[in-house]
Copies of this chain bind each other. A is one copy, B any other.
Amino acid sequence: MSEAQGTLLVVSAHAGDFVWRAGGAIASAAMRGDRAVVACLSYGERGESASQWLQGKGLDEIKAIRREEAEAAASALGAEIEFLDLGDYPLVESREAIVKLVDLYRRVQPTVVLTHTLHDPYNGDHPAAARMALEARILAQAIGVPNGDGSTPTKEQIIGAPPVFFFEPHQPEQCDFTPNVLLDITDAFPRKRAAMECLPAQKHMWSYYTDLAVRRGVQVKRNAGPNLGLPHDTMGEAYMRYLPQVTNVLS
């Protein structure tokens, strides 16, 4: 179980989500030599690009802008990125999209999967992305489920059962998000900040998500050691593990 040879797969509904919510985990994986792959299901062209629409930009132009930004951010984090261009608002679930994701899982062979929460009263695309990510993960494990080209997968093509983590939504408590994993991203934070700065249209979010990293960093400290009320500079990200942790050691 050498983690240095792991592969992190991030299934993101829109082009920006993976930066704000999982940038620390992605950069951290890349920095220790893991492969990190981001699958953007849409560009967030309709639902998360209000300022561009207000400026009168057209659909294709907006998609191009968001794609470029996302590529720059992924690069800053040290991740590969793929775009499925499934459309957003709504992100419609379909058999075709699931088949594409099954193929992606089998090609990438992730050892860890990150995606959205299954509940989000503010954005229906997030749970839709999560449902597809979870369904494809199960199908990709079954040797009886054909590849997208109709062929039967080999034993090497089917995947194992990679753990799944939900990353933090904007209003966590309304999304039934109870963090059960606090990730120390102190070392990775400069890369996350650099990736955030690749998204100039949401400049006011830079400090917002820096503050959140401070907040989750305080909790990293609180849950790890005695609370002597001393200052520290730990930065954190919160996650929610979907399935039981499998381990040899309780710690």
Contacts and interface: CB of A to CB of B under 8 A. Distances in A.
Contacts of A61: none
Contact of A139 (B90, B183, B227, B247): B90
Contacts of A29: 250
Interface string A23-34: 001001100100
Interface residues of A, number: 94
Given A173-B173, A204-B231, A241-B245, 18 more contacts: A1-B251, A3-B249, A3-B251, A28-B249, A53-B152, A89-B142, A89-B145, A90-B135, A143-B228, A158-B226, A159-B226, A160-B224, A161-B227, A163-B223, A165-B250, A170-B222, A173-B238, A211-B211
A245 B50 contact: no
Contacts of A202: 229
B250 A183 contact: yes
A53 B145 CA distance: 10
A54 to B, nearest CB: 7
A142 B145 CA distance: 38
Identical chains in the assembly:
6
A27 to B, nearest CB: 12
Given A171-B219, A180-B241, A222-B161, A89 B247 contact: no
A172 interface: yes
B161 A223 contact: yes
B214 A121 contact: no
Contacts of A248: 28, 183-184
A47 interface: yes
B53 A225 contact: no
Contacts of A50: 142-144, 227-229
